[in-house]
Amino acid sequence: MEKRDSMLDAYLRKGLSRRSFLKGCVALTTLMGLSTDMLDKVVEAAETKPLPVVVWIHGHECTGCDESFIRSGAPMTSDVVLNTIALEYDHLLSAASGEPFEHHLEETIKKYDGQYILAVEGAVATRDSGVFCMSGGRPFIKTLQEAAAHAMAVVAYGTCATAGGIQAAQPNPTGSSGISYFVGTKPLVNVPGCPPIPEVMTGVLMHLALFGTLPPLDNEGRPRQFYGNRIHDTCYRRPFFDAGMFAETFDDKGAKAGWCLYKLGCRGPQTYNSCGNIRWFQGMSYPVQSGAPCIGCSEANFWDNAPLTDRMPDYAPIGDVDKIGVMVAGGMLAGIAGHAAVSVVQKMKRDAIAEQEEAEKKAFEERRDG
Ligand code: FSX
Ligand code: SF4
Ligand code: F3S
């Protein structure tokens, strides 16, 4: 078998210094959520392990996930694509097209049988034998099943791939679903978000690439380091929620003063993602920071919880297997409602005191001025 470049080889071959390579390793260690104690291991793996072969396929989706990925800032996407992975096939990023391109996919699957990481974006259209999502002249469902059968591991990028996304929204005319039912027993990492945060996409890929193992996952198959907190847990508007100070409309005084967006539909209390920590566009901002409530884009079925600017709806029971989740969600919502109610009462008290003080001040001024 041919010798494949390691990450270090790729850096040196491009005329980059060992110093840049080490800087790249430091960035990757942080990105993967590892402590600096692990830097040695990252450097060792990056020096010796061949670049991971990645096959990236797209089903039923809007391509926003790739659009997000190419905006990765630390590390830059160009570094990831050119120096840290061997991207053999990608519908969006590959220069080739047409039949030779499809043949290349077949060849890659054969050549790297059991060795490549399969990245998948988009839902799987299942109705009428998958005819609603064709790629390279055949249903995407077939491409996915074949590519997954020969992969080392599969990464589902985006809420479409993890749970069907907008394609699976009611009434779901194409019978779309997430990819998990079609990848057999292959190790699977779910990276939800519509789209996912680019640095999260890179971090997961690099963990698989450098260590050959899945990152620690939660019970929904999501990497814990990126999906361990709710948007609400890291929200800088949280003190306003706790004080019961809510924007009531998108242009009222509260909205302009940066108060909590809960009453405008914010799904932050039920949404697990890293937006509050990592943010978007190299840490510049995220929906809540730009004045838009979180619409819960990393949670399954978020499109069906519409209208998205209404206060959070209750979850409808969705079957026995989900009873526990529904109970937990119900308890959490009751907690949130209770918390919000207490906060509102506290605010009413504060308002009443302020009103009384204002009235006393006015009466004093009237007496003083005769
Ligand atoms: Fe879905 Fe991604 Fe939303 Fe779009 O690939 S998660 S519709 S941002 O593009 O799949
Ligand atoms: Fe932030 Fe939304 Fe929670 Fe309010 S409800 S604190 S805006 S996440
Ligand atoms: Fe999505 Fe909410 Fe983040 S809408 S981008 S999970 S703040």
Ligand 3 proximity of 287 Cβ (cutoff 6 Å): yes
Task: Give me the domain span that covers residue 241.
Answer: 231-330
> Cα separation of 44 and 34, whole Å?
15
Same domain for 218 and 80, yes or no, is: yes
Ligand 3 proximity of 8 Cβ (cutoff 6 Å): no
59 vs 342: which has the higher pLDDT: 59
Ligand 2 proximity of 288 Cβ (cutoff 6 Å): yes
Mean pLDDT rounded to a whole number for the chain: 86
Given ligand 2 and candidates 240, 248, 260, which is best to mutate, with the most ligand atoms within 8 Å of its CB?
260
- Overall domain count for the chain: 2
Same domain for 244 and 221, yes or no, is: no
Confidence at 2, pLDDT banded by 50, 70, 90: low
CA of 180 to the centre of ligand 3 (A): 22
Residue 297 lies in a domain: yes
Same domain for 147 and 252, yes or no, is: no
Q: Which of 330, 347, 364 is the last residue of a domain?
A: 330
> Cα separation of 117 and 105, whole Å?
13
**Which protein residue has the closest C-alpha to ligand 3 atom 1?**
297
- Reported as type and span, the H/E element at residue 134 is strand 134-135
Confidence at 4, pLDDT banded by 50, 70, 90: confident
Ligand 2 proximity of 266 Cβ (cutoff 6 Å): yes
Same domain for 271 and 195, yes or no, is: no
Q: Which two tokens stand for residue 39?
A: 């830097």
Q: Torsion-angle region of residue 253: left (phi > 0), alpha (psi -120 to 50) or beta? A: alpha
Q: Which two tokens stand for residue 214?
A: 């899945």
Instruction: Output the pLDDT for position 325.
Output: 35
Q: Which of 227, 259, 280 is the last residue of a domain?
A: 227
> In this model, does residue 1 exceed pLDDT 60?
no
Three-class SS state of 87 = strand
Q: Which of 194, 227, 260 is the last residue of a domain?
A: 227
CA of 350 to the centre of ligand 1 (A): 44
Same domain for 104 and 144, yes or no, is: yes
Same domain for 142 and 85, yes or no, is: yes
What angle, 0 to 180 degrees and rounded to 10, lies between the N-to-C axes of helices 198-211 and 18-31? 110
Q: Nearest-CA neighbor of 314 among 300, 297, 299, 332?
A: 332
Same domain for 264 and 175, yes or no, is: no
Kindly report, residue by residue over 247-279, the tens digit of the pLDDT. 999 999 999 999 999 999 999 999 999 999 999
Q: Are 345 and 245 in contact (CB under 8 A)?
A: no
> In this model, does residue 32 exceed pLDDT 60?
yes
10 vs 246: which has the higher pLDDT: 246
Kindly report, residue by residue over 132-188, the tens digit of the pLDDT. 999 888 999 999 999 999 999 999 999 999 999 999 999 999 999 999 999 999 999
Ligand nearest to the CA of 278: 3
Residue 163's CATH number: 3.40.50.700
Position in ligand 2 atom list of the atom nearest CA 240 = 6
Same domain for 148 and 186, yes or no, is: yes
